[in-house]
Structure 1
Amino acid sequence: MEHFDKKAIDARVAAGFPLTDRWHNRFHLEMPFGLINDPNGLTYADGEYHIFYQWNPLGCEHKNKCWAHVRTRDFVHYSLPELSLWPSDEHDKDGCYSGCGFTEKGRVHVFYTCNAKNDGIRTPAQRFGTLQEDGSVEKGVIAVPDSPAGITGHFRDPYLFHRHGKRYFVIGAQADEQEPRGTVLIYEETKEGWKNLGELKTRLGHFGYMWECPNLLHFGAYDALIFCPQGLEAREFDRQNIYQAGYIAGHLSLDSLDMMQHSKFQELDHGFDFYAPQVFQHEGRHILLGWMGMPDKDDEYPTREKGWMFSLTLPRVLSLRQGHIYSRPARELKALRIEETAIDIDMDMEQNLTEQLFDGTEALLDLTLGKAQHISLTLAYGLETTVFSYDRTTQVMTIDRTGMKHGGRGVRRFKLFVDRMLSLQLFVDRTAVEAFFQHGEEVASMLVFPEKNIRPELRIHADAPLESVTGRLWELDSFHFTR
């Protein structure tokens, strides 16, 4: 088991800020070194949001899993990241895996999966911990010592929720069958401890070999189960990443353990780089953070050679309408906008438009299509391009980054209904790009690694004059980190 020196690691992180490499993002959470992945432990306490996330401070491999921690009051100003939870005993010696956070009597607590392997056998234990004044997590009781009968060692990522005055958690799992099957289990807190109620029943059948990172959300009279199934085959307009992150919406019955009248599985994000989201609720908002990255695709991320990998998404606020989750950027992010340099766009009957973007840009655009049937929006980094193109006849949005030299490439396609107007909100950081379509009906997150250190151009082209293009481009400030 590696030795983790919190003081030395925190000092090295502090020395790495501000981030200076041209591929480092300005308004996405990143680390100066090491590999980050799943957001964890999201909660709110005493005026501050607490964000934890998986981190290997010792290298760019998926091992030595620790948790880093930051605090923010407004999603713009942050504490410097610090090492908070790390492997230290027989239970979590092979990694502090994902879990959730909660606040009780003003104290921040976490609930996570301990990973230990002995003679090739994995023992996953679920454990509570409490955040201390120095930023470390004091480890507490083991609530569930191992996976239950009928479930393999792939048993992880607990997520707490409350119903009828009781506390429960959902947890990702793999059923131990001839052909392993992904599933989610529900546990109930009792006076005797945590009781396994069994599998959550759905109509999905055999739907991949493992379900990771479940979140159970409550939207008024409806429930949504977010989870990450592994082992689904790609289809023409969805499931095109190696692993998916999506949801079903319906009505949870804790009596029958059934997600009743649920929707089909829908993806939360159609981009190349989105996985392992976590959602927490505060003041009526469901706030999501996701990992901008993808497991088992490490060769698609050239920053590995520079000693760091991956980002977190911007915070998104979720709402459920007619069985579909909409995602919008958190309103606090408007504080990043620099009004003095904003560019207003107001054009009629134009087929082509080119605008130079800033070092970090938010674009809010409404394209009234008129007779145009094919519309493309290109991020051009000199000769390199990432292209969003929409075909009205097929109602398909295509994202194509084969025009980039470095990093992952490829194409993603998804259905998007547009009547008269295509609405787009685009956040373009140095490598992170997040696109919100039709006021958050669909979202796509991706990382691009331009060869040249130049500001991109936004080029809009249509096959007939667009009736109008209106909107605004803002230069965005960087996140502020305080020591």
Structure 2
Amino acid sequence: MENFNKQEIDAKLKETFPLEHRWHNRFHLEMPFGLINDPNGMAYHDGKFHIFYQWNPLGCEHKNKCWAHTATRDFVHYSLPELALWPDDVHDKDGCYSGCGTVEDGRLRVLYTCNRKEDGVRIPAQRFGSLKGDKVEKEEIIVPDHPEGITGHFRDPYLFTRRGKRYFVIGAQREADEKGTVLIYEETAEGWKNLGEVKNRLGDFGYMWECPNLVQFGSYDVLIFCPQGLEAREFDRQNIYQAGYIAGHLSLDSMDMMQHTKFQELDRGFDFYAPQVLTHEGRQILIGWMGMPDKDSEYPTAELGWQYSLTMPRELRLRQGHIYSRPARELKDLRIAETAVELEAEDIKEISRPLFEGSEILLDMDLGESKEIVTTLAYGTEKLRFIYDRKEQVMSIDRNEMKKGGRGVRRFKLFADENLSLQIFVDKTAVEIFFQHGEEAASILVFPEKNIRPEITIAADGELKSLSGKIWELDSFRFNA
């Protein structure tokens, strides 16, 4: 086990905020050193949203898994991140893996997967802890190992309540066929009882399901999870691993997800995985990891000592079995009002505007006679393009003209008919875009070679009947010790 000196690590964090490198983002959570990944332990407690996330403070490799912690009242002002949970005993000596947060008897508690390996054999345990001051104090282990019929790939518990009882859903892999699944455990007077696998109609659907969330939207249950091992298709599943959901009705009596939809992705970009959802006052707030497992070489900040970001918080709504996502309403407070630039034009084929170091762009287009509409973020000669093919009803995201980091194209179906709506957030390296008022979203990381403020261009092959919108400069997150 590595020696994690919390005082030294926290002091180093204090010295390095605010983040100043030109590739460090303004309004995306990230760290000045080490590798971050899955958001964890999200909870609302004592007037604040608490966000934990996986962090290796010792380097840019997927090992030494700890949890960092920050808190915010408004998703704009944050406490300075700190090391909150780290491997320090026999149960989690090989990593404090992902988990969730809950509030219980006035305490903020977390439930996480302890990872340990003995002679190469993985022994996962599920354990509670409580936030005391600036660290998580470890408490009881409630599930000491993986159950019969399940491999050591058994992790990422997510607590939920039904009919006055507590349960958790957890990601797993079956032993018999090495295929992905999720299990549910129920809290009883005798301890936590394994109710078994959640039945579904997905069939053979990858070799592991990670990071499950079970979220209610009215009378519907939504199972969010990250299946690994799916084949890419023309218009979906194009990343190495996916993050998505099925919506239906979960029967805890029959352990069946009844009448569920097909699997749908939550994000169509290159860089989105391991989302976690917090339910608070009727809102479903999602934060995801802006990165992709097993693609570390595509993120050049590792050479500078840090890697990856988290997405902005998103609010989710379910309509006709499909999740719509929009940026959390609090993020409007990042807009610097006096910088607003109005966009109003009719019967045009092309329009360009310079952007700020951090920008939000709202665009509504009446497509008129045009058949192809290309929205370009240009960093000098480097370009990130969003290409809409109206005839095929297909949106493509093309970053092949960026020189550093990952390349490639992502394509998905998007119905626009006569109007196309885009909401684009452009940070130093993080771009998040919401299509058709949140019907689809995409997260993309780009690493411009030169320190150039981007320019946005909207170009069509025929006249757009009208284009309206606005551009704002966005302020940075503020961190207080």
Name the structure 2 match of 1:221.
Answer: 219
Q: Give 1:334's aligned residue.
A: 332
**Could you give the per-residue CA deviations for residues 399-442 of structure 1, whole angstroms, max 9, x where no partner exists?**
00000000001000000000111000000000000000001000
Amino acid of the residue matched to residue 127 of structure 1? R
SS of equivalent to 2:417: coil
Task: Give 3-state SS (helix, strand or coil) of 1:15's partner.
Answer: helix
Q: 2 CA distance for matches of 1:104 and 1:372?
A: 56
Give the Cα–Cα distance (whole angstroms) in 1 for the partners of residues 178 and 8 of structure 2. 42
The 3-state SS of whatever aligns with 1:334 is: helix
Matched with 1:143 is 142
Give the secondary structure class of the aligned counterpart of 2:15: helix
1:327 Cα shift?
A: 0.4
Q: d(CA) in 2 for partners of 1:180 and 1:386? A: 38
Q: Give the structure 1 partner of residue 151 of structure 2.
A: 152
2:206 to 205, 208, 225: 208
Residues in 1 aligned to 2:175 and 2:202: alpha-carbon distance in whole angstroms: 17
Aligned to 2:454: 456
Question: What SS does the corresponding residue of 1:303 show, helix, strand or coil?
Answer: helix
Q: Deviations over 1:13-71 (max 9, x none)?
A: 11110101000000000000000000000000111000000000000000000000000
Paired-residue identity, %: 73
Query: TM (normalized to structure 2)?
Result: 1.00
Give the letter aligned to residue 163 of structure 1.
R
Q: Distance in 2 between matches of 1:43 and 1:338?
A: 29
Residue by residue, what CA displacement relative to the aligned partner does 1:138-181 show, whole Å, maximum 9, x if unpaired? 0000000000000000000000000000000000000012x410
Tell me how far 1:106 sits from its aligned partner.
Answer: 2.2
- Counterpart selection for 2:271 from 270, 273, 283: 273
Partner of 2:168: 169
Q: Superposed, which structure 2 residues align to 1:18-37 within 5 Å?
A: 18-37=18-37
Q: 2:258 is matched with which residue? A: 260
User: Per-residue deviation at 1:105?
Assistant: 2.5
SS at match of 2:398: strand
Matched, 1:74 2:74: yes
Between the aligned partners of 2:331 and 2:106, the Cα distance in structure 1 is: 26
Q: How does 1:359-370 map to 2 (within 5 A)?
A: 359-370=357-368
* Aligned residue identity for 1:196: N
d(CA) in 1 for partners of 2:363, 2:108 = 40
Q: Which 4+ stretches in 1 moved above 4 angstroms?
A: none
Q: Give 2:93's aligned residue.
A: 93
List per-residue Cα deviations over 1:212-236 (Å, max 9, x = no partner).
Answer: 0000000001000000000000000
Within the candidate set 237, 240, 258, 1:239 is matched to 237
CA distance in 2, matches of 1:467, 1:259: 46
- What is the TM-score of this pair, normalised by structure 1? 0.99
CA RMSD of aligned residues (A): 0.4
Partner AA of 1:91 in structure 2: H
Equivalent-residue separation in structure 2 for 1:451 and 1:342 (angstroms): 28
CA shift at 1:206, angstroms?
1.2
Which amino acid is 1:213 matched to? Answer: C
- Whichever residue aligns with residue 286 of structure 2, its letter is L
Q: Which amino acid letter does the alignment assign opposite residue 21 of structure 2?
A: D
Distance 1:399 1:205 in 2: 30
Q: Secondary structure at the match of 1:402?
A: strand
2:50 aligns to what? 50
**Whole-angstrom distance in 2 between the partners of 1:106 and 1:314:** 28
Structure 1 distance, partners of 2:341, 2:15, is 36
User: Number of matched residues?
Assistant: 481
Q: 1:91 & 1:154 partners in 2: Cα distance?
A: 15
For residues 443 and 298 of structure 2, the distance between their equivalents in structure 1, rounded to whole angstroms, comes to 15
Moved more, 358-367 or 102-111: 102-111
In 2, Cα distance between the equivalents of 1:79 and 1:68? 11
Offset from partner CA, 1:300-330 (integer Å, 9 cap, x none): 0000000000000000000100000000100
Which position in structure 2 is the counterpart of 1:467? 465
Amino acid at match of 1:388: F
Structure 1 counterpart of 2:427: 429
Q: Give the distance between the partners of 2:186 and 2:29, measured in 1 at CA.
A: 34
Distance in 2 (alpha carbons) for counterparts of 1:46 and 1:278: 20
Match of 2:194 in 1: 196
Residue type at the aligned position of 1:47: G
Shift of 1:104: 1.5
Displacement of 1:205? 1.2
- Give the Cα separation in 1 of the matches to 2:332 and 2:104: 31
Distance 2:249 2:17 in 1: 46
Three-state SS of the structure 1 residue aligned to 2:312 is coil
State the match for 1:111 in structure 2: 111
Q: For 1:321, give the aligned amino acid.
A: R
Give 2:61's aligned amino acid.
E
> Using the alignment, how far apart are the partners of 2:186 and 2:47 within structure 1?
30
Q: Amino acid of the residue matched to residue 251 of structure 1?
A: H
Which residue identity is paired with 2:153?
H
Where does residue 476 of structure 1 map in the other structure? 474
Partner deviation per Cα, 1:117-154 (whole Å, 9 max, x = no partner): 01000000000000011x10000000000000000000
* Alignment partners' CA distance in 1, 2:140 and 2:104: 16
Q: SS of the residue aligned with 1:224? A: strand
Please give the secondary structure, in 1, of the residue aligned with 2:330: helix
Please give the secondary structure, in 2, of the residue aligned with 1:89. coil
Q: Which residue does the alignment assign to 1:180?
A: 178
Work out the CA distance in 1 between the residues paired with 2:459 and 2:307: 34
Measured in 2, the distance between the counterparts of 1:182 and 1:227 equals 10
Match for 1:348 among 342, 346, 349? Answer: 346
